[in-house]
A and B are shown apart, each in its own frame.
Chain A
Amino acid sequence: MTKPTKQIHLAAHFPGVNNTTVWSDPRSGSHIEFSSFEHLAAAAERAKFDFLFLAEGLRLREQNGEIYDLDVVGRPDTFTVLAALAAVTDRLGLAGTINSTFNEPYEVARQFASLDHLSGGRAAWNVVTSWDAFTGENFRRGGFLPQDARYERARTFLQTTWELYDSWHGDEIIADKESGEFLISGEAGRFEHRDAHFDIGGQFNVPRSPQGRPVIFQAGDSEEGREFAASSADAIFSRHGTLTEGQEFYADVKGRLARYGRTPDQLLILPAATYVLGDTDVEAAELAREVRRQQVSGQTAIAFLEQLWNRDLSGYDPDGPLPDVDPDPGEHTIARGRASVRMHRDPMAIAAQWRAKAAAEKLSIRELIIEITARQTFVGSASTVAGEINELVQADASDGFILVPHITPGGLDEFADTVVPLLQERGVFRSEYEGSTLREHLGLAPLNTPAAARVAS
């Protein structure tokens, strides 16, 4: 029995505040002017992508006690730029990261419901959590949340926003000029939520939006993160883009859904993917090597090493061997405001792996860091890349990819113009949008609105 062919889901990630984004290239434009966001959104919509995605970081990153200056620095406000993009796009989903720690549910629910109205049902929220006092220094409450409480707060935060959205059923506004009745009931939007984190009540003031609520994304890879996604998310923004790792992750997370009464098609797995295209596979491979060298300068290599070693290594030569000294096992102090640092759970073991790899392959510090951090997901001609993407999706390593261009704002253009048509020819990617909401693009069933449920019962 053959499996039915899956339709691929594709999204565009606005190049981020990290070393994947190459700013030194002559084609690299502004990371903050609205025209750059408009350019990427237009390319993504031209290619009929599911959505555009925007990351967030609420404090400038630091290393050795100073603002980290080797990567792109500076971002817009997520909600504001997505609302502006709704004006220059018609169908493209608009997904943004919003932190559940340094916001309040009422305000976030209002902003997403507003974005969903203003975009005609295209809003999505990537729910992230943080706990660090470093970021907290920019906010009223400071670093108020213990690390182990962050997912619990995120879960109840998300639950609270759902209660707010569902406080409107969608049929309350009549606006009958003759009778003078605007609303069927003065109780519209009534809610009350009390738990360990939130004690709030009143009436929500945004009537039900086209999607009912934003599409929910989750990006954490930990056990808690996976469980959170299985219980509540519509899509996972994962890190596992290779066949074996991808299949393992895919099976693991989809396997958790039944526990929450959900089916596998209710949670999409969308790994982030970088790419370098060339006219031929050989040319692409050469270009990819060049891009990796741009992404990892000598200084960047040392900075990465410092993040694992947790000590100042500025005296080391990036073209020389790894340091003899071991990582500092103490509290991590060298780099702050950087999500990747939290992945170094066992620095000693990782350092041992890195040393072994460097010794076996005779790699300098810079060469090692290039190998470890910068290898692109897809490298090849358009035809090769289209083939690989399709294979990975059909083999259940993912349901599609969130593509991360390394050049702002034009880095998606070539992919849109060369790879996407090949996927369309194979019949595995849409040639036209069929629906108008992001839920429809993602193949997610419409939510049971409270009004519909009431009608059905």
Chain B
Amino acid sequence: MTAATSPLHLAVALDGAGWHPAAWREPRARPDELLTARYWTQLIAEAERGLLDFVTIEDGFSLQSARTDRVVGRLDAVLIAARVAPLTRHIGLVPTVVVTHTEPFHISKAIATLDYASNGRAGVRVRVSARPEEAALFGRRDFPRVNLTDRGDPAVRQLTAGLFDEAADFVEVVRRLWDSWEDDAEIRDAATGRFVDREKLHYIDFDGDYFSVKGPSITPRPRQGQPIVSALGHGTVPYELIAKAADVGYVTPRDADHAKQIVAEIHAAGRQLADPVHIFADLVVFLGPSEAAAADRKARLDELAGRAYTSDATIFTGTPARLADLLIEWQRSGLSGFRLRPGAIPDDVEAITRELVPELQRRGSFRTTYEADSLRGLLGLNRPASRYASVGSN
């Protein structure tokens, strides 16, 4: 089998009514239901009907916009994922977590619990936040007011490097806590009266520049052992985090050549995990039955928003068939999959699940049935032994 026909992995990134700021005004949008369980359940069930690997759920602590013509308000992404978990069977659930303002101990047990509630389909996308207004919601740290999109500014570089350094420590703590209970720690030994074998519970004794955490977790080792950790990156600093500690990295190439460069840069950086990293390209998609119809739809949204939509990721406007061409072409750059950001919900999600997916299946590039019962399994990753397993057994 050649690389060109090997299956690719597909995820969708869910955020409110879709990624275009005017998406909520589309005829089929349900902007008054964005805070309901039903909205998220139906949306993720649709993604599961399309056999997608996983969904990510965006999150952040501050209000999305100061404008009154855009969607504002959002629910905690981990809790959305948990609310949907018992109602789905196969699809991976990957909520976003802001690591800058949260406790690694809480996040580790939250994702472990999501893994229990979903029978092994949990992941997390870690995000840093350098925004002063987000820090002010917590009042625990101050960040300088700098233009964060100006990556050439030394102050921005220093701030970003520190936050990603902290994020790496955060991921390390979360992972150690997942391993802190060996799989067979619960023994229920009536003869000795012991419920657990304390030799198989481990202090993680993490002591870093930003925090120290003693452990062990209060939650036993999750189903997958290590749920999936993922991160989005646009440059060298986050690429290092992806290379070192993530199972999946989301990147934003301009084209196939750029994708190849990014893949090479990530693969050249040091890795701590046994399994290779999956690199997914992010694309914002506006799909339609014809090129013209897709373009018209995007133009209509742009007009409603009062400006042309821009994004950190490449914007694709066209037919599902042409998107399939592009995915297969970019896949040859060493990408293992794509995280598609639907321009509008539900239209672009349904175009992915009902048109793009069958198109890819016809070309032998996508699964025709769920082949595994865990998210690690769908991504072809083994269930790792606890890093402490050899320490505890004697």
Contacts and interface: CB of A to CB of B under 8 A. Distances in A.
Interface in B74-94: 74-76, 78-80, 82-87
Interface residues of B, number: 78
B116 A32 contact: yes
A81 interface: yes
Judged by DSSP, the binding face of A is loop
Contact of A175 (B24, B113, B188, B211): B24
Interface string A229-246: 000000000000000000
Contact of B197 (A23, A60, A69): A69
A87 B62 contact: no
Interface in A161-192: 173, 175, 177, 180-186, 188-189
B204 to A, nearest CB: 9
A202 B139 CA distance: 10
Given A60-B218, A118-B79, A205 B103 contact: no
Given A74-B218, A79-B110, A205 B72 contact: yes
Contacts of A299: 193
A186 B66 CA distance: 5
A114 B138 contact: no
B248 to A, nearest CB: 21
| Chain A contact patch, size range | 35 or more
Contacts of B71: 182
A118 B37 CA distance: 5
Contacts of A300: 193
B377 interface: no
A67 B198 contact: yes
Given A104-B138, A104-B140, A182 B76 contact: no
A295 to B, nearest CB: 12
B236 interface: no
A180 B25 contact: yes
Nearest to B216: A60
Interface string B10-44: 00000000000010110101011001110001000
Interface in A296-352: 297-300
Contacts of B35: 117, 206-207
Contacts of A107: 61, 101-102, 138
A57 interface: yes
A137 interface: yes
Contacts of B136: 200-202
Contacts of A199: 139
A81 B218 contact: no
Given A139-B211, A206-B75, 15 more contacts: A24-B190, A69-B196, A70-B193, A76-B116, A77-B109, A86-B83, A87-B85, A104-B138, A107-B102, A117-B37, A118-B37, A119-B37, A142-B212, A201-B139, A202-B134
Interface of B: 22, 24-25, 27, 29, 31-32, 35-37, 41, 60-64, 66-76, 78-80, 82-87, 101-103, 105-106, 109-110, 112-114, 116-117, 119, 133-134, 136-140, 181, 186, 188, 190, 193-198, 201, 210-216, 218-220, 304
Interface of A: 23-24, 32-34, 38, 57-60, 66-67, 69-77, 79-81, 83-84, 86-88, 102-104, 106-107, 110-111, 113-115, 117-120, 137-140, 142, 173, 175, 177, 180-186, 188-189, 198-207, 297-300
